[in-house]
């Protein structure tokens, strides 16, 4: 959806998970314009012939399943059957798009996976240098290193850059760190860099504790405000010398304050899509929820549970409750008209696996502008 908002038109949207596909199709039936024209293919990407798209694509974008590398997962990495990076490389090799954007979890950059991270970057750079016979990925890594250091390779290559991005620094009301890989085909005369950050914690601290504009906007009386944040005084001194030109981080309150309270069964609450109260939330050490006046913790998904209370909001008085599906969609910057299909657990899984739409849009818009300006 972020890529569509950036102005790209989809030739195919490939997804194997039945509930996720039903969510997409439900929104198409409802006439949600952003997704209505998409050709949705329910399939395992491993069985898709990308040669059918050769020469037709400006961009391939996606998120190879991240559970193998997630800090909250089982950490099997390249040995995990859910690791779809090999098919990511194959998609590039067969379709040869002008550019790509791939996203994955911060855990992929852990020291444990350092060699495999290098392998990913080099294989994205040289997708036609394939593994031979029974060679494992380590043998293949050595071959890729030889190709890279020797120079003069004449096959398909991409100029690859990567960066760890925090969604909060781009206006998303959630601290969500993900690594983005962006590649531009080597025959394209394109200069590109990751977009500059537009939002910051420092600016939020100024907004809350120096000017107090944040509380005034939300009409929060002094008696109802939380304790002054740590570091606020230091930031105030620093900003007095050199004003911060970024916007404040968006908070949970910014994202959901205009929604009716779901704990009160009201007509207004029932009229909001996917805004149903889910009882049973509780706080305990290490499971404390997302503070109302900060960006949310990273929304998570998975059969291992949510150990940090990331799917709860913590009010100023210390009480907690689960986010509704609509509130979670707001934290992922999904449009309010987008209808999530399934139970609370299933829809939260879909949202926890998603890329914040606003962050995807920022990166994709920047890349699209660079591609449009190319002479190639």
CATH number of the domain bearing residue 186? 3.40.50.150
Residue that finishes a domain, picked among 184, 218, 245:
245
Tens of pLDDT, residues 74-101: 434 445 456 789 999 999 999 999 999 9
Please indicate, yes or no, if residue 330 is contained in any of the structural domains: no
Interval 200-210 mean pLDDT: 93
Are residues 47 and 168 located together in one domain of the fold?
Answer: yes
Rounded-to-integer distance, Cα 128 and Cα 91, Å = 11
- In whole angstroms, give the CA distance from residue 376 to residue 374: 5
> What is the domain extent for residue 232?
199-245
Model confidence at 224: pLDDT above 70: yes
CA 129 to CA 147: how far, in whole Å?
9
Name residues whose C-beta falls within 8 Å of residue 193's C-beta, 6 or more positions apart in sequence: 161
Residues 132, 69, 126: CA angle, nearest 5 degrees = 35
Task: Report if residue 367 sits inside a domain.
Answer: yes
**335 pLDDT exceeds 60?**
yes
Comparing 66-80, 127-141, 206-220, the range with the smallest average pLDDT is 66-80
Residue 36 burial (CB count, 10 A): 11
* Domain closes at, from 213, 245, 277: 245
| Per-residue confidence band for 113, with pLDDT thresholds at 50, 70 and 90 | confident
Residues 104 and 208 in one domain: no
Q: Are residue 33 and residue 133 in the same domain, yes or no?
A: yes
**Residue 295: band (very low, low, confident or very high) from pLDDT cuts 50, 70, 90:** very high
Residues 102 and 223 in one domain: no
Structural domains of the chain, count: 2
More confident residue, 298 or 234: 298
The answer on 45 and 21 residing in a single domain is: yes
Answer whether 0.85 is exceeded by the pTM: yes
Residue 72 has pLDDT above 80, yes or no: no
Query: Confidence band (pLDDT; 50, 70, 90) for 376?
Result: low
Mean pLDDT of 281-294: 90
Claim to verify: residue 24 and residue 118 sit in the same structural domain: yes
Q: Is residue 293 part of a domain?
A: no
């Amino acid at each position: 959806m972020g890529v569509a908002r950036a102005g790209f038109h989809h030739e195919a949207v490939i997804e194997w998970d039945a509930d996720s596909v039903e969510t997409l199709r439900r929104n198409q039936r409802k006439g949600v314009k952003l997704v209505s024209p998409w050709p949705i293919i329910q399939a395992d990407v491993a069985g898709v012939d990308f040669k059918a798209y050769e020469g037709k694509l400006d961009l391939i974008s996606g998120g190879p399943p991240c559970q193998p590398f997630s800090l909250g997962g089982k950490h099997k990495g390249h040995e995990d059957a859910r690791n779809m990076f090999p098919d990511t490389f194959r998609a590039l090799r067969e379709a040869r798009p002008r550019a790509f954007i791939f996203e994955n979890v911060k855990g992929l950059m852990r020291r444990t996976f350092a060699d495999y991270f290098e392998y990913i970057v080099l294989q994205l750079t040289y997708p036609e240098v394939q593994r031979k016979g029974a060679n494992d990925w380590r043998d293949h890594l050595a071959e890729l290193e030889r190709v890279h250091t020797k120079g003069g390779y004449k096959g398909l290559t991409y100029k690859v850059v990567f960066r760890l991005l925090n969604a909060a620094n781009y206006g998303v009301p959630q601290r969500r760190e993900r690594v983005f890989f962006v590649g531009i085909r080597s025959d394209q005369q394109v200069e590109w860099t990751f977009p500059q950050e537009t939002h910051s914690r420092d600016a939020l601290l100024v907004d809350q504790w120096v000017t107090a504009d944040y509380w005034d906007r939300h009409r929060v009386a002094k008696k109802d405000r939380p304790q002054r944040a740590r570091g606020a005084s230091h930031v105030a001194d620093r900003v007095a010398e050199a004003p911060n030109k970024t916007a404040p981080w968006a908070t949970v309150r910014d994202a959901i304050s205009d929604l009716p309270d779901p704990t009160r069964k009201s007509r207004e609450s029932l009229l909001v899509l996917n805004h149903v109260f889910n009882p049973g939330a509780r706080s305990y050490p290490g499971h404390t929820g997302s503070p109302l006046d900060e960006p949310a913790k990273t929304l998570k998904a998975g059969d291992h549970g949510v150990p940090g209370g990331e799917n709860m909001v913590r009010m100023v008085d210390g009480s907690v409750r689960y986010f509704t599906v609509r509130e979670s969609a707001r934290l992922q910057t999904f449009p309010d008209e987008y209808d999530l299909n399934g139970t609370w657990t299933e829809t939260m899984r879909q949202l926890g696996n998603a890329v914040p739409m606003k962050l995807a849009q920022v990166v994709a818009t920047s890349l699209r502008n660079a591609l449009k300006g190319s002479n190639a």
